[in-house]
Amino acid sequence: MTERGRAAARQIQDEHRHLRQVLASAGAVFDARSADRDEVVRLIESLRRELIEHFESEETGGYFSEAIAAAPRLSERAARLLQEHRELADELDRFLSLAQEGTPDDAWWDRLAARFHQLAERLHAHELAETALLQDAYLDDLGATD
């Protein structure tokens, strides 16, 4: 893998670490249920912004392109992960709409907390898959597979 590929991989791992912290503190808000609706809406908006920036940095920063260059057989897996970025962004839009609708009663918090945990799990799985893709690309690059 090239130096650009290694730099992109390091940056992505840093961003993943940062996102885990962002998700953990957002999770605490949905557990505590003490924020008002405007605060929750702002929280989801900033979460959405951070994630979309993260997806863009993966898509344009050489992460996927370097992995595919090192291991062309991984291009389908990479394409699926890119497609998942679109789906996750759509889910974040729906999550935001959900927060903007209704009044913050118990049912509203139940809906949002359930949706948040679903989304956080999906993001976590997505990022694990990205890390796995990167590791496989490195292995191919070293000629250590098959």
Residues that bind Fe ion (CB under 5 A): 127, 130
The distance of closest approach from Cβ of residue 130 to Fe ion in the complex, given in angstroms and rounded to an integer, is 5
Cβ-contact 121, 24 below 8 angstroms: no
State the alpha helices, DSSP H only, in the chain: 3-32, 37-60, 63-70, 75-100, 106-142
Length of the chain: 146
The distance of closest approach from Cβ of residue 8 to Fe ion in the complex, given in angstroms and rounded to an integer, is 11
Q: Which is nearer to Fe ion, 40 or 74 (CB)?
A: 74
Q: Which is nearer to Fe ion, 61 or 104 (CB)?
A: 61
Which backbone phi and psi does 68 adopt, to 5 degrees? -70, -35
Q: Which is nearer to Fe ion, 127 or 140 (CB)?
A: 127
The distance of closest approach from Cβ of residue 124 to Fe ion in the complex, given in angstroms and rounded to an integer, is 10
